[in-house]
Chains A and B, each alone.
Chain A
Amino acid sequence: MTAAPRSSIDPAEVERFSRIAAEWWDPKGKFAPLHKFNPVRLGFIRERALSHFSRDAAARRPFEGLALLDIGCGGGLLSEPMARLGFSVTGVDASERNIKTAMTHAEDGGLSIDYRASTAEALEAAGERFDLILNMEVIEHVADPGEFLRSCSRLLAPGGLMIVASLNRTLKAFALAKVGAEYILRWLPPGTHDWNRFIKPEEMRGFVADQKLGIEGPFGICFDPLSGQWFRSADSDVNYMMIVTRPG
Chain B
Amino acid sequence: MSTYDADVIIAGAGMAGATLALALNSAGVKTILIDPQVFEIQTAPEFDGRASAIAWSTFRQWMEIGVGEALVPHAQRIEQILVTDDPTPGAAAGPGMGLFLRFDAAEISDASGGEPLGYMIENRHARAALAQAVTAAGIEVLAPARVVCVNVEGPAAVVTLEDGRTLRAPLAVGAEGRNSTVRQAAGIGVIGWNYKQTGFVATVAMDEAHDGVAHEYFLPSGPFAILPLTGKRASLVWTESPARAVALKAARIEVVEAHLSRRFGAFLGEVHLAGPRFTYPLSLQMAERMYAPRMALLGDAAHAVHPIAGQGLNLGLKDVAALAQVLVEALRLGEDIGSEAVLERYVAWRRFDNVSLAAATDVFVRLFSNDHPLLRVARGIGMAAVGKIGPARRFFMEEAGGAVGDLPRLLRGQPL
Contacts and interface: CB of A to CB of B under 8 A. Distances in A.
Interface of A: 1-4, 25-28, 35, 38-39, 42-43, 46, 58, 60, 80-85, 108-111
A108 B340 contact: no
Contacts of A2: 1
A27 B340 contact: yes
A80 B1 contact: no
B336 interface: yes
B339 interface: yes
Contact of A83 (B155, B332, B334, B341): B334
A114 B331 CA distance: 22
B334 A82 contact: yes
22 contacts: A1-B2, A4-B1, A27-B339, A27-B340, A27-B341, A28-B340, A28-B344, A39-B333, A39-B335, A42-B335, A43-B333, A60-B28, A80-B334, A81-B335, A83-B334, A84-B336, A85-B334, A108-B154, A110-B1, A110-B2, A110-B154, A110-B155
Interface string B338-359: 0111001000000000000000
Contact of B333 (A3, A4, A46): A46
Interface in B1-33: 1-2, 28
Is chain B's binding surface mostly helix, strand, loop or mixed? loop
A60 B331 CA distance: 8
B1 A1 contact: yes
List of 9 A-B pairs having minimum Cβ-Cβ separation, nearest first: A81-B334, A110-B2, A27-B341, A84-B334, A42-B333, A85-B334, A109-B155, A3-B1, A35-B341
Nearest to A107: B154
B155, B339, B341: which has the most chain A beta carbons within 10 Å?
A: B341
Nearest to B7: A60
B358 to A, nearest CB: 24
Interface in B185-216: none
For the side of the interface on B, what is the size category? Answer: 10 to 19
Contact of A109 (B2, B329, B331, B333): B2
A109 B152 CA distance: 12
A46 B339 CA distance: 20
A42 B334 contact: yes
Contacts of A82: 334
Nearest to B154: A108
A80 B336 contact: yes
Interface in B315-330: 329
Nearest to A39: B333
Given A108-B155, A109-B154, A110-B154, A26 B340 contact: yes
B28 A58 contact: yes
A110 B2 CA distance: 5
B407 to A, nearest CB: 14
A3 B3 CA distance: 10
A110 B156 CA distance: 10
A46 B332 CA distance: 8
A25 B333 contact: no
A108 B334 CA distance: 17
A85 B340 CA distance: 19
Interface string B297-323: 000000000000000000000000000
A108 B152 CA distance: 12
B348 to A, nearest CB: 8
A90 B198 CA distance: 61
Given A25-B341, A81-B335, A84-B334, 19 more contacts: A1-B1, A1-B2, A4-B1, A27-B339, A27-B344, A28-B344, A35-B341, A38-B341, A43-B333, A46-B332, A58-B28, A80-B336, A81-B336, A83-B334, A85-B333, A85-B334, A108-B154, A109-B2, A111-B155
